[in-house]
């Protein structure tokens, strides 16, 4: 037995009938169960701001036969006037005639207007004549339709994504559709004239279960800065495509991601997620992989020399060229990387791996560059890595691969590798969503996932950091250098491969991390086919990177090194004594007749004034921690820092007025510390 709901014009009752009779009965009266869509879950940014939500809108219909005659007659004029004033598409007389004709004809379902209304308007309409009587006494029907709304409009549009009616889509909306969509319910509908289906009652036999919410890693402010900076650069260079991704070093959280494509009319929009789905030849940014292989598998040192000649070198019948007219001549390995010499990378790779290319490719595999990363967002492109067993492998494949040609990886692959260097050698998977929740209750957390152990030895890691900082300090990205914090990274300029031929069009890029001494963020910028005078990574993509880094540095006070309170001495009373070895400063003060007293037995001290005397205070030197060398002579600072295992770079003359690594932070052996002397 099943129960059936039978509805006459104004009377409903419940009948129990057997299956055969129910089928025949439902055919006669045209009842059917239809899907009631669940309300889709929200997508939030990292601070709880809404990136996407479902807002309720309503289609207004009426069963004009349900209202009692006195209610209909007394309210029809006012209702028609209000409908006319709101919709502004028909006169009061037209709306009155529409409702009267439908009632006279016994129509049980009439769409008042196809324009959807919001919730506030619905509440207002529920106070109007006839409508105020409700669903069963007035006949008004408000059919709910959820509309996806994005409070920040096009911000991170491709990453937030969409789902079409056919189930296809992109971004988080599509990738987490099973979580966001919830479970649809069912309700009973009646088919009436004009093949229109009218809900028989507001309740449903199977209640819809609304979707869960997802919490993304996107920082709205940083997303805005990144998109704006990329957009302006695309405009300035009249480029075809561009992408920027900003990642948090320790967590792998993607804080900003923007992908722009030209619309062909001087503007840009988010058409495709190039960062995830765009597999491209990386160009010179791939030279980091080459250096990892060389430093790990050979006895090569950064100070060793390589002759790049006049900037051209022939492999079989093909020439490798450097971008610098006339070449770089004889340079160190470090200089070759900083200046981005293709010839040097090709020659070194051919020399050490030419007869054993699989050993080089083993590093590509170990660095997770030959397979998809397995991201939370669908649509990730599969890398294309040529192998010695492939038919298109030749004698030039490996040398070309050494400087980023003949293979294809996604920009996010490249960023993940550089982030590993910043993250003390640990490679982690990029994260887009941190949790799934229902209201305030977390249903699922997504932890940061390691992809590898360490990508290389500590020695190699320190050498890589020296190389990447050197690119900005001395090499192709000197234009990104600034006085407040240090950037480490690599420029890239790759010719575009079209129909098997390289054209005079380029993909420019810059990838790196900052602040270099204590990395918190890594980022990659790619801009395809810039037009005009500027065609290289340092002057097209690089400025976008710096613009974003500058903005983050300005907003994040934790990135700023604390400034030591300036110590002043009365002129003419004391010589300039700030810090150093206690025995040497005591001897010097005694020789000059300066009264001095000690408050510590430590070897290294700092000074303070007490009346007309100098007091020596503790300046502890702790193993594996950066010492405080502020105020020391360069000689003392150099001795102490190198003894601690740091490499020292400096500018200026006199005493140390600024040090790039904060005192007390953990030392990575071989890391560089920068001193400013004055």
Q: Tell me: the pLDDT tens digits for 178-213?
A: 999 888 777 776 665 555 556 666 555 677 788 899
Residues 66 and 22 in one domain: yes
Instruction: Write down which residue in 191, 216, 241 finishes a domain.
Output: 216
Q: Is the pLDDT score of 160 beyond 80?
A: yes
Contacts of 238 (CB under 8 A, 6+ apart): 266, 530, 531, 532
pLDDT of amino acid 397: 93
Task: Say yes or no: 211 and 232 in one domain.
Answer: no
Clarify whether residues 287 and 242 are in a common domain.
Answer: yes
Q: How far apart are CA 292 and CA 354, in angstroms?
A: 16
**What's CA 624's distance to the chain center, in Å?**
34
Backbone angles phi, psi at 25, to 5 degrees: -65, -45
Taking alpha carbons only, the member of 236, 234, 226, 232 closest to residue 261 is 234
Q: Is the pLDDT of residue 588 over 80?
A: no
Q: Are residues 191 and 275 in the same domain?
A: no
Helix, strand, coil distribution of the chain in percent, nearest 5: 30, 30, 40
Q: How confident is residue 305, by pLDDT bands cut at 50, 70 and 90?
A: very high
- Whether 13 and 101 map to the same domain: the answer is yes
What pLDDT, on the 0 to 100 scale, is given for residue 33?
Answer: 63
Helix, strand or coil for residue 663? coil
- The span from the CA of 342 to the CA of 358, in Å, is 21
Same domain for 265 and 173: no
Q: Which one, of 523, 574, 260, lies nearest residue 416 by Cα? A: 523
Tell me, yes or no, whether 302 lies in a domain: yes
Judge if 208 and 267 occupy the same domain: no
Question: Which among 185, 216, 247 is the end of a domain?
Answer: 216
Question: Is the residue at 229 inside a domain?
Answer: yes
Helix axes 220-237, 542-555, angle to 10 degrees: 150
Domain that holds residue 207: 2-216
pLDDT at position 135 over 50 = yes
Judged against a pLDDT cut of 50, whether residue 2 lies above it is answered with: no
- The residues, ordered by sequence, that sit 6+ positions from 216 with a Cβ below 8 Å of its Cβ are 43, 44, 45, 46, 51, 160, 172, 432, 433, 434
Residue 519 included in any domain: yes
- Reported pTM: 0.77
User: Over pLDDT 70: what percentage of the chain?
Assistant: 87
- The domain that contains 140 carries what CATH number? 3.90.1310.10
Structure tokens at 457: 């030895």
pLDDT computed for residue 546 by the predictor: 93
The CATH number linked to 652 is: 3.30.10.20
Q: How many domains does the chain have?
A: 3
Q: What is the reported pLDDT for 200? A: 64
> Are 190 and 236 found together in one domain?
no
CATH number at residue 427: 3.40.710.10
Query: Is 569 within a domain?
Result: no
* 362 lies in the same domain as 410: yes
Instruction: Record the tokens describing residue 474, joined without a space.
Output: 């001395």
Cβ 574 vs Cβ 552: under 8 Å: no
CA distance 294 to 571: 56
Lowest mean pLDDT across 235-249, 356-370, 622-636: 622-636
Give the residues across from 260 on adjacent strands: 242
Cα separations (Å) of 369 from 332, 376, 466? Answer: 28, 17, 23
Are residues 147 and 205 both part of a single domain? yes
Distances from the Cα of 603 to the Cα of 606, 620, 633, 643, angstroms: 10, 8, 15, 14
Task: Name the DSSP letter for residue 205.
Answer: S
**Secondary structure (3-state) at 131:** helix
Under 8 Å between Cβ of 623 and 666: no
> Residue 195 domain-assigned?
yes
571: in domain = no
Inform me whether the pLDDT recorded for 667 exceeds 70: yes
Which residue, among 614, 609, 675, has the nearest Cα to 640 in the 3D structure?
675
Q: Which residue would you say has higher pLDDT here, 440 or 73?
A: 73
Asked, for residue 228, whether it belongs to a domain, the answer is yes
Place of tokens 């408050």: 599
Query: Are residues 94 and 17 part of one domain?
Result: yes
* Residue 293 and residue 205 share a domain: no
Answer yes or no: is 564 within a domain.
no
Q: If 0-12 CB within 10 Å is exposed, 13-18 middle and 19+ buried, where does residue 150 land?
A: middle
Domain end position, chosen among 192, 216, 240? 216
Q: If you search the block for the tokens 């250098």, which residue do you land on?
A: 481
Q: Say if CB 302 and CB 288 are below 8 A apart.
A: no
- pLDDT at 153 (0 to 100): 77
pLDDT of residue 197: 57
pLDDT tens string 9-18:
333 444 444 5
């Amino acid at each position: 037995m099943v129960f059936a709901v039978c509805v006459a014009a104004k009377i409903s009752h419940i009948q129990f009938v057997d299956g055969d009779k129910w089928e025949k009965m439902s055919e006669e009266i045209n009842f059917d169960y239809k899907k009631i869509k669940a309300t889709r879950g929200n997508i939030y940014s990292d601070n709880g701001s809404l990136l996407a939500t479902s807002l309720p809108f309503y289609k207004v219909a009426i069963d004009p036969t349900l209202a009692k005659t006195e209610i209909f007659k007394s309210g029809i004029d006012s209702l028609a006037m209000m409908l006319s004033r709101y919709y502004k598409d028909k006169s009061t007389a037209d709306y009155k005639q529409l409702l009267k004709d439908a009632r006279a004809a016994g129509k049980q379902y009439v769409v008042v207007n196809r324009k959807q209304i919001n919730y506030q308007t619905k509440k207002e309409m529920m106070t109007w004549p006839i409508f105020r009587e409700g669903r069963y006494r007035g006949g008004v029907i408000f059919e709910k339709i959820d509309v996806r709304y994005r409070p920040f409009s096009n911000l991170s549009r491709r990453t937030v994504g969409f789902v079409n009616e056919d189930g296809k889509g992109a971004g988080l909306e599509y990738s987490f559709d099973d979580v966001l969509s919830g479970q649809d319910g069912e309700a009973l509908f009646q088919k009436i004239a004009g093949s229109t289906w009218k809900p028989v009652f507001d309740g449903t036999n199977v209640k819809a279960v609304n979707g869960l919410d997802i919490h993304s890693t996107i920082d709205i402010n940083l997303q805005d800065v990144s998109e704006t900076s990329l957009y302006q650069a695309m405009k300035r260079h009249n480029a075809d495509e561009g992408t920027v991704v900003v990642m948090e070093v320790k967590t792998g959280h993607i804080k900003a991601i923007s992908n722009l494509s030209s619309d062909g009319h001087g503007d840009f929009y988010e058409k495709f997620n190039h960062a995830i789905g765009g597999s491209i030849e990386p160009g010179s940014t791939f030279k980091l992989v080459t250096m990892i292989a060389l430093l790990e598998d050979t006895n090569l040192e950064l100070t060793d020399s390589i002759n790049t000649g006049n900037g051209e070198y022939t492999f079989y019948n093909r020439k490798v060229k450097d971008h610098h007219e006339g070449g770089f001549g004889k340079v160190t390995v470090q200089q070759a990387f900083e200046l981005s010499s293709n010839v040097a990378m090709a020659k070194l790779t051919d020399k050490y791996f030419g007869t054993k290319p699989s050993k080089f490719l083993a590093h590509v595999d170990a660095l997770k560059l030959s397979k998809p990363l397995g991201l939370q967002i669908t649509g990730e492109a599969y890398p294309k890595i040529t192998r010695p067993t492939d038919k298109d492998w030749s004698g030039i494949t490996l040398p070309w691969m050494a400087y980023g040609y003949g293979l294809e990886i996604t920009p996010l692959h490249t960023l993940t590798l550089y982030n590993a260097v910043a993250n003390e050698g640990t490679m982690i998977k990029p994260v887009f969503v941190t949790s799934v929740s229902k209201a305030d209750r977390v249903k699922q957390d997504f932890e940061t996932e390691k992809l590898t152990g360490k990508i290389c030895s500590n020695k190699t890691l320190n050498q890589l950091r020296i190389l990447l900082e050197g690119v900005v300090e001395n090499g192709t990205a000197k234009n990104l250098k600034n006085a407040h914090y240090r950037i480490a990274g690599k420029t890239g300029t790759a010719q575009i491969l079209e129909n098997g031929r390289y054209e005079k069009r380029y993909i420019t890029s810059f990838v790196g991390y900052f602040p270099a001494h204590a990395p918190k963020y890594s980022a990659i910028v790619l801009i395809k086919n810039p037009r005009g005078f500027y065609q290289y990574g340092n002057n097209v993509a690089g400025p976008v990177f710096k613009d974003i880094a500058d903005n983050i540095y300005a907003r994040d006070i934790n990135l700023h090194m604390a400034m030591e309170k300036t110590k002043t001495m009365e002129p003419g009373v004391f010589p300039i004594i700030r810090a150093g070895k206690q025995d040497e400063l005591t001897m010097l003060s005694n020789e000059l007749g300066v009264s001095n007293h000690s408050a510590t037995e430590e070897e290294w001290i700092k000074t303070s004034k007490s009346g007309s005397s100098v007091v020596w205070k503790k300046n502890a030197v702790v193993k594996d921690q950066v010492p405080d060398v502020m105020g020391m002579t360069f000689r003392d600072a150099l001795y102490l820092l190198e003894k601690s295992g740091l490499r020292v770079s400096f500018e200026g003359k006199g005493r140390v007025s600024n040090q790039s690594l904060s005192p007390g932070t953990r030392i990575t052996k071989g890391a560089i510390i920068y001193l400013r002397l004055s």
